[in-house]
Amino acid sequence: MSETKGEFEPKIVVYACNWCTYAATDLAGTSRMSYPPNVRIIRVMCSGRIDPQFVLQAFADGADGVIVAGCHPPADCHYIEGNYKAYRRFELFRKLLETMGIEQERFRLEWISAAEASRWVQVVNEMVTQVKKLGPLKPNLEVRE
């Protein structure tokens, strides 16, 4: 989290697959769309690569929200079914968050295609608003390095 001029500015880490969501974030740029600067995007080749431990690390280090995003099911995934693997892992993971004192609303799993720049902008706006409402994350978990 970071505090600028008194107002809470959440920091949101995004794990985006190379083929769909990362392309959408690029398209939002080339289309000169506008969204709040609270997101930090980490590129992976496939949403199936995203390990829940990354998300935990982000929360442990101070992320106020995390978005995991990939290609639309059923058939957009560049690697056949990586999006389904992400779906399985993170729907389960979401349930575990609450037990660690992290509100489920701080985590989003999204499908954003390469053409859906406006969807990306909408997701960022919604997430920033939502996390601002929740306030800074004060996790009661310790991740050993």
Site residues (vs other proteins, CB under 8 A): 4, 11, 13, 19, 22-23, 25-26, 28-30, 32-35, 37, 40-46, 48-51, 53-54, 57-58, 61-63, 74-76, 78-82, 85, 89
**Minimum distance from residue 11 beta carbon to other proteins (Å):** 7
> Between residues 19 and 107, which has the closer beta carbon with respect to other proteins?
19
| Token duo for residue 67 | 């978005």
> Between residues 69 and 82, which has the closer beta carbon with respect to other proteins?
82
The amino acid at 142 = E
**Minimum distance from residue 105 beta carbon to other proteins (Å):** 20
**Minimum distance from residue 101 beta carbon to other proteins (Å):** 18
- What are the DSSP calls for 59-115, one per residue? HHHT-SEEEEEEPPTTT--TTSSHHHHHHHHHHHHHHHHHHTT--GGGEEEEE--TT
Which one-letter DSSP state was computed for residue 6?
T
| Cα–Cα distance measured from residue 134 to residue 120, given in angstroms and rounded to the nearest whole number | 21
> Between residues 8 and 54, which has the closer beta carbon with respect to other proteins?
54
